[in-house]
Amino acid sequence: MNILAIESSCDDTAAAVVRDGREVLSGCVSSQIEMHAIYGGVVPEIASRKHVEAVAGLADKAVSDAGLTKSDLDAIAVTYAPGLIGAVLVGVNFAKGAALALGLPLIPVHHVRGHIAANYIAHPDLTPPFVCLCVSGGTTAIVDVRSYTEMSVLGGTRDDAAGECFDKVARVLGLGYPGGDPMDKLAQGGDDSKYVLPVAHVAGAELDMSFSGLKTASLNLIHNAQQKGEALDLPAFAASFGRAVSDSLVPRVIAAAKMTGYGKIAVAGGVAANSRVRADLQAACAASGDRLFLPELKYCGDNAAMIGCQGFYEFQAGHTAGWDLNAFATRDISLG
Ligand code: KG4
């Protein structure tokens, strides 16, 4: 089954063709990062307008890059939630038009379910049930993936997402947007115990997290140093920050794997590319005996291949949409 997948939930327009949920035949992305970097974050209206400009050409390219024609397609999958609403609407409306014109089924895909499915590309042996640590710019949650299409949140952040915290701190350091990757690179070789940053615990909710205190403490530390004219040891600060984020995430997903008894952990979303988080997870899983599945770096951030993967399983479960499909800025992952 060949699925043309469309993703436009934030600042990347993406299209891909995926066969039978696991084989990526093509994938193309039009990044808007340079445009939004001027403003230090994503400007929603600019994002929507850039999606409008890019989406049709990318879809056409994805089909020809796959060595196919439109008549070889069997369905259209699209991210319909969650995300910047104007941005998601562009993808949904394009997908709806394409499905109508080509006479194909329309498959709505939850963006975070797509991130989870990115693991299926690199790991043909990964099958549910497993727990997945979903960490991106908008989401930080530990998800119980009971089957390909049945999932629920076991725990998550009570405030900021981990990626957002990376981005805010990086912005104050002048590292640009998005800040996760430059913070990661800056941290290489830094002394991670030089600055003591808080790792929050939510009383009575073992799997929940909080990043707002870490963000505030980090910003205060940077501002205090600036006011006193003291130079921060930037690699040590970035390493200490990465350690605090990882110390929040890793023990909780290990606890979730133990709680569910699945023995399998996957990771998803932009922050899944973080070298400290990946290394700490590898060490923790080696100690706990859990099997760890990491997505390829190119499929950690937003892409359309992951939407095509999850779309296949949603289709198998009978989850197709009518012509009244709408977009949602927020939506619980358990609802699909
Ligand atoms: O999944 P994604 O591309 O978009 C969302 O769905 O949110 O994630 C983007 C987030 C940004 O906050 C970015 O700074 C972060 O992922 N990120 C990283 C790294 N690469 C991207 N955070 C930490 N370390 C990285 N290497």
Q: What CA–CA distance (Å, rounded) separates 19 from 2?
A: 5
**Separation CA 120–CA 334 (nearest Å):** 19
pLDDT in tens, 130-168: 999 999 999 999 999 999 999 999 999 999 999 999 999
Q: From 166, 211, 277, give the residue whose CB has the most ligand 1 atoms within 8 Å, as the site to mutate.
A: 166
Kindly state the average pLDDT of the residues 80-93.
98
How far, in Å, from the CA of 270 to the mean position of ligand 1?
3
Do residues 172 and 219 lie in contact, with contact meaning Cβ atoms separated by under 8 Å?
yes
Whether residue 11 has its Cβ less than 6 Å from ligand 1:
no
What pLDDT, in 10s, does the model give residues 261-294? 999 999 999 999 999 999 999 999 999 999 999 9
pLDDT at 237: 98
Residue whose CA is at the smallest distance from ligand 1 atom 16: 270
What HEC string does the chain produce? CEEEEEECCCCEEEEEEEECCCEEEEEEEEECHHHHHCCCCCCHHHHHHHHHHHHHHHHHHHHHHCCCCHHHCCEEEEEEECCCHHHHHHHHHHHHHHHHHHCCCEEEEEHHHHHHHHHHHHCCCCCCCEEEEEECCCCEEEEEECCCCCEEEEEEECCCCHHHHHHHHHHHCCCCCCCHHHHHHHHCCCCCCCCCCCCCCCCCCCCCECCHHHHHHHHHHHHHHHHHCCCCCHHHHHHHHHHHHHHHHHHHHHHHHHHHCCCEEEEECHHHHCHHHHHHHHHHHHHHCCEEECCCHHHCCCCCHHHHHHHHHHHHCCCCECCCCCCCCCCCHHHC
For the segment 182-195, the average pLDDT, to the nearest whole number, is 98
Nearest Cα residue to atom 7 of ligand 1? 137
- Whole-model pTM: value is 0.97
CB within 8 Å of 170: residues ≥ 6 apart: 176, 177, 178, 179, 180, 182, 183
- Regarding the beta carbon of 302 and ligand 1, being less than 6 Å apart is answered yes
In angstroms, rounded to a whole number, what is the distance separating the alpha carbons of residues 158 and 171?
22
The per-residue pLDDT for 41 is 85
Residue keyed to tokens 């024609």: 69
Residue 45's contacts (CB-CB under 8 Å, 6 or more residues apart) are 86
Question: In angstroms, rounded to a whole number, what is the distance separating the alpha carbons of residues 159 and 156?
Answer: 9
Express each pLDDT in 196-252 by its tens digit.
Answer: 999 999 999 999 999 999 999 999 999 999 999 999 999 999 999 999 999 999 999
Q: Is the pLDDT reported for residue 310 higher than 90?
A: yes
Instruction: Give the ligand 1 atom nearest the CA of 179.
Output: 14
Average pLDDT along the chain: 97
Query: What pLDDT score was predicted for residue 214?
Result: 98
pLDDT over 90 (residue 84): yes
Question: Mutation test of ligand 1: which of 36, 271, 277 has the most ligand atoms closer than 8 Å to its C-beta?
Answer: 271
Q: Taking the C-alpha atoms of 238, 240, 245 and 249 in order, what is their torsion angle to the nearest 10 degrees? A: 140
Closest residue (by CA) to atom 20 of ligand 1?
181
What residue owns the CA closest to ligand 1's atom 8? 270
Average pLDDT (311-324) is 98
Give me the mean pLDDT over the 78-90 stretch. 98
| Any ligand 1 atom below 6 A from CB of 269 | yes
Interior/surface letters 16-36, b for 16+ CB within 10 angstroms, e for the rest: bbbbebbbbbbbbbbebeeeb
Give pLDDT, residue 269: 97
Does ligand 1 come within 6 angstroms of the Cβ of 184?
yes
Predicted confidence (pLDDT) per residue in 21-44, tens digit: 999 999 999 999 888 888 888 999
| CA 271 / ligand 1 centre spacing (Å) | 5
CA distance 192 to 206: 25
